[in-house]
């Protein structure tokens, strides 16, 4: 762009110089060329111009110079035109851009205003939401606090009511439990009073009936009162009752419970031994009797049970020794005397048999005589007059006398 004005100036200057040269050349030609005699002289000025023009036309150098100037002039004009066109195009583009900007400026302004308005509205909405949220949360907290307080009061009242009902029901249950416990203790006490020791083979029919009634009553009481508490002594009494009902397995279970609660309970071990004898477990029975004796060495019934077990195993000498200990501890123990007589009879010692049997009959005539008549241990001496005399009923002895 900086070269263009200089080139334009040079071209214009060249054209002017060319024009001046052509004019001077024409004037010189006109003054030098003579008029033809046959030609009518023209006015001096016109003739001079055409003469000069003719001279210039014939001047080759001048023509080349003019042509060169014309070519340069055309080139300069083309350059000027190109530059003008480009400048015009650039200017037009700028004008179009400005027109476009001016055209879209209101739209952009409107869009900007819309966005600003939208932003302001969003901000206002956000702030309003925050305020509303804060107010709602505050109100909600107040409502929740009030509702919670109300529910707390209601729950407290309900809890107090339930507590009162629970205490009342607990008191009733406690009263029922105490009553059931007392009833249980009463049943156990009655069983202990009427149930004989397991060393006896049987109990009278009326006693057995009462024992059965009491055990059923106790079973019903336990079915509706699972929380009843039982002592080792209670289990021993229940085991005794079941023993005389011939429920030996159940009796064994109760004796085991008693031992679990009170391992040193000698009566539980004694009862367990009696049950094991019935279950044909003589060795285990003797072991149970020995544990009972260990905890209570002066327990005559345990010594008698041990003797009975040893007699079943045909250990007659040991059985007699056990019976002797029982008799020493309890001299009026007719079963020990009778057991001793049986062992002597099985040994074949008639004199010792008669002596022990006589003492047994002296202590309990009815039961001792009845047992001697049916006991197979005395079969070998039934023909002996002394035996017959000892076992004869009292009426027969009176008639003989």
The pLDDT score that the predictor gives to residue 91 is 76
In a domain, 162, yes or no: no
In a shared domain, residues 384 and 280: no
Burial class (CB in 10 A: 0-12, 13-18, 19+), 356: buried
The pLDDT score that the predictor gives to residue 36 is 45
Domain boundary among 262, 292, 322: 292
In a domain, 159, yes or no: no
Smallest CA-to-CA distance from 343 within 310, 369, 374 is with 310
Domain boundary among 88, 122, 156: 122
Q: Are 181 and 228 in contact (CB under 8 A)?
A: yes
CA distance 167 to 161: 10
Percent of the chain with pLDDT over 90: 37
- The CATH number that applies at residue 369 is 1.25.40.10
Provide the domain count of the chain: 3
Low pLDDT (below 70) residues in the chain: 1-47, 49, 52-53, 56-59, 62-63, 66, 104-106, 136, 168, 170-177, 200-202, 394-401
In a domain, 58, yes or no: yes
The pLDDT score that the predictor gives to residue 164 is 77
Q: What tens digit of pLDDT does each residue of 292-308 get?
A: 999 999 999 999 999 99
The pLDDT score that the predictor gives to residue 3 is 44
Q: What is the 3-state secondary structure (H, E, C) of the chain?
A: CCCHHHHHHHHHHHHHHHHHHHHHHHHHHHHHCCCCCCCCCCCHHHHHHHHHHHHHHHCHHHHHHHHHHHHHHHHHHHHHHHHHHHHHHHHHHHHHHHHHHHHHHHHHHHHHHHHHHHHHHHHHHHHHHHHHHHHHHHHHHHHHHHHHHHHHHHHHHHHHHHHHHHHHHHHHHHHHHHHHHHHHHHHHHHHHHHCCCCCCCCCCHHHHHHHHHHHHHHHHHHHHCCCCCCCHHHHHHHHHHHHHCCCHHHHHHHHHHHHHHCCCCHHHHHHHHHHHHHCCCHHHHHHHHHHHHHHCCCCHHHHHHHHHHHHHCCCHHHHHHHHHHHHHHCCCCHHHHHHHHHHHHHHCCHHHHHHHHHHHHHHCHHHHHHHHHHCHHHHHHCCCHHHHHHHCCHHHHHHHC
CA distance 150 to 144: 10
The pLDDT score that the predictor gives to residue 248 is 94
Domain boundary among 70, 102, 122: 122
Handedness of CA 298, 301, 304, 308 (dihedral sign): negative
In a domain, 145, yes or no: no
The pLDDT score that the predictor gives to residue 43 is 54
Token pair in block for residue 226: 């699972």
In a shared domain, residues 331 and 400: yes
Token pair in block for residue 287: 């072991």
In a shared domain, residues 225 and 314: no
Tell me the pTM.
Answer: 0.56
In a shared domain, residues 215 and 247: yes
Parent domain of 242:
195-292
In a shared domain, residues 114 and 222: no
In a shared domain, residues 323 and 384: yes
In a shared domain, residues 91 and 67: yes
In a domain, 155, yes or no: no
Q: Are 285 and 305 in contact (CB under 8 A)?
A: yes
CA distance 315 to 309: 9
In a domain, 385, yes or no: yes
In a shared domain, residues 288 and 363: no
The pLDDT score that the predictor gives to residue 82 is 84
Crossing angle (nearest 10°) for helices 44-58 and 4-32: 120
In a domain, 184, yes or no: no
In a shared domain, residues 35 and 94: yes
């Amino acid at each position: 762009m900086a070269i263009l004005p200089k080139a334009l100036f040079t071209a214009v200057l060249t054209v002017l110089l060319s024009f001046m040269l052509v004019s001077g050349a024409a004037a010189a030609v006109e003054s030098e060329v003579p008029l033809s005699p046959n030609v009518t002289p023209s006015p001096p000025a016109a003739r001079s111009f055409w003469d000069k023009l003719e001279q210039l036309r014939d001047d080759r150098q001048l023509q080349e110079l003019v042509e060169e100037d014309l070519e340069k002039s055309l080139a300069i004009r083309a350059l000027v035109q190109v530059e003008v066109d480009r400048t015009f195009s650039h200017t037009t583009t700028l004008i179009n851009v400005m027109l476009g900007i001016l055209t879209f400026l209101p739209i952009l302004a409107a869009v900007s205003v819309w966005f600003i308005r939208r932003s302001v509205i969003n901000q206002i909405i956000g702030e309003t939401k925050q305020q509303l949220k804060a107010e709602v949360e505050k109100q909600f907290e107040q409502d929740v606090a009030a509702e919670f307080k109300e529910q707390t009061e209601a729950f407290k009242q309900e809890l107090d009511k339930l507590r009162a009902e629970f205490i009342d029901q607990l008191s009733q249950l406690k009263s029922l439990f105490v009553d059931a416990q007392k009833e249980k203790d009463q049943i156990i006490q009655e069983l202990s009073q009427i149930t004989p020791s397991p060393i006896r083979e049987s109990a009278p029919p009326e006693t057995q009936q009462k024992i059965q009634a009491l055990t059923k009553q106790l079973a019903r009481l336990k079915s509706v009162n699972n929380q009843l508490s039982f002592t080792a002594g209670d289990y021993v009494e229940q085991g005794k009752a079941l023993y005389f009902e011939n429920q030996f397995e159940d009796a064994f279970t109760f004796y085991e419970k008693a031992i679990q609660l009170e391992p040193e309970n000698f009566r539980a071990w004694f009862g367990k031994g009696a049950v094991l004898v019935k279950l044909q477990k003589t060795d285990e029975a003797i072991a149970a009797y020995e544990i009972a004796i260990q905890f209570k060495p002066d327990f005559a019934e345990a010594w008698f049970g041990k003797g009975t077990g040893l007699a079943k195993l045909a250990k007659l000498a040991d059985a007699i020794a056990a019976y002797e200990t029982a008799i020493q501890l309890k001299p009026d123990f007719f079963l020990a005397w009778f057991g001793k007589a049986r062992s002597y009879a099985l040994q074949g010692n008639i004199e010792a048999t008669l002596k022990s049997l006589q003492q047994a009959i002296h202590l309990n005539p009815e039961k001792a005589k009845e047992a001697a008549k049916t006991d197979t241990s005395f079969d070998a001496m039934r023909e002996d007059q002394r035996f017959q005399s000892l076992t004869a009923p009292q009426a027969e002895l009176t008639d003989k006398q």
